[in-house]
Structure 1
Amino acid sequence: MSYKTEFGPDFDLGFNLSDYPQLTDKSWHNDVCPSFWFKRDRQYFVLWVDFDSPDKRESESKRYTITTAKNFSCEEHPEIGLSDKSNCLFESEQLRELVIFMEYFKKDNSS
């Protein structure tokens, strides 16, 4: 798991990653926190999961943030990232709010 390699084996996402099979880990050590991409219809999204403690965060963002994203490669080998047109769709400190938001994306949609 890349997020554990990049942010340490004890990094706590606050949820069980296996509960969200649509999430693909895209964490990178140059980022301020772990990130995971997913797709709904033809739109890509990135879920950012920051440290639980605001004191450990490098920015003033909420613990859970979801932004729109773009595939800079092809469907077979996606390279998902933010573009100048990316928008923030969701921000929360609360896991329960993230769970509610993510329920929509748990539905099977392979288009």
Structure 2
Amino acid sequence: MSYKSEFGAGFDLGFDLYNYPYLKDNSWHNNVSPSFYFNVGSQYYVLWVDYADRARREDTNPRYLIQKAINEGDEKHPEVYASGGDIIFESELVVDLNQFLNSLSDSHDHTS
């Protein structure tokens, strides 16, 4: 599914998804916000992007959150889940997210 079909065409990520081609949309309407998975080597991660308006959020997490995830599928048919994974990044600010993603991109290859 796509985050736009699951959360509405007007959902604002706060960044241009085109700039991060390794982020794979993993959004599902049963989740509280859109999500995107990626991997660095064999480690998978999920980026959660919540509403900019805190009043629309279902929990108290910051707008941007990245946590470790597992792939229960394989590389050809990934099934990536972050339930209970350690949080490695969280921020309200897109500039912080951009810096974090760029630092990962600069130091590692993304294979998904």
Q: TM-score per shorter chain, which class?
A: over 0.9
1:99 is the counterpart of 2:98: yes
Q: Deviations over 1:53-102 (max 9, x none)?
A: 11000000000000000001111100000244x10001100010001100
Q: What is the number of residues matched between the two proteins?
A: 110
Q: Secondary structure at the match of 1:102?
A: helix
One-letter amino acid of the structure 1 residue matched with residue 90 of structure 2: E
1:73 is the counterpart of 2:69: no
Q: Which runs of 4+ in 1 moved over 3 A?
A: none
Conserved? CA contact 1:46–1:68, under 8 Å: yes
Counterpart position of 1:21 = 21
Identity of aligned residues (%): 47
1:8 is the counterpart of 2:32: no
CA distance in 1, matches of 2:48, 2:41: 20
One-letter amino acid of the structure 1 residue matched with residue 60 of structure 2: E
1:88 is the counterpart of 2:87: yes
Conserved? CA contact 1:22–1:106, under 8 Å: no
CA distance in 1, matches of 2:82, 2:36: 12
What is the CA distance between 1:106 and its match in structure 2?
2.5
Q: Which runs of 5+ in 2 are unaligned?
A: none
Aligned Cα RMSD in Å?
1.5
